Amino acid sequence: MRLACAIVLALTPFGALAEDYTEDEIVEIANDYGLDAAPLMLGGDPDYGAYLAGECTTCHQTSGSYDGIPVITGWDALFFKIAMHEYRAKQRENPVMQTIAARLGDEEIASLAAYFATLEE
């Protein structure tokens, strides 16, 4: 499934909604997390995500190795977006991530999610 997702993203550089969820499912999940559903439905540009990811890869390893900072490669794009929106809303702890997320727009979060979903875990 992850591979399929990567292929779809590779074929659609501006990230059409390459998700495995229906809109209704996303609305339901968004409610569970106390988040607005619309930003979670956005597709992202993996090229822009690759550039933005430079801000992540100082700490998070693209190899998927863990040495004290969580692995973020190969995540389902929807749950990547949820995590970032939670940090931005300060619903998730960690001042580094809250500060990084604070200046990311909805499309930037979607682009990061699209990019990291393409990396093998």
Contact positions vs another protein (CB under 8 A): 47-48, 50-52, 54-55, 57-63, 65-69, 95-96, 98-100, 102-103
Q: For residues 4 and 105, which CB has a smaller minimum distance to another protein in the complex?
A: 105
Q: Measured from the CB atom, is 21 or 61 closer to another protein?
A: 61
CB of 32 to another protein, least distance (A): 26
Round to whole Å and give the CA distance between 9 and 1: 12
> Biggest alpha carbon distance in the chain?
37
Nearest distance, CB of residue 29 and another protein, angstroms: 28
At its nearest, how many Å lie between another protein and the CB of residue 56? 9
Gap between the Cα atoms of 102 and 99, Å rounded: 5
Least Cα distance to 106 among 91, 87, 84 occurs for 84
Nearer to another protein, 62 or 91 (CB): 62
Contact 98, 118 (CB under 8 A): no
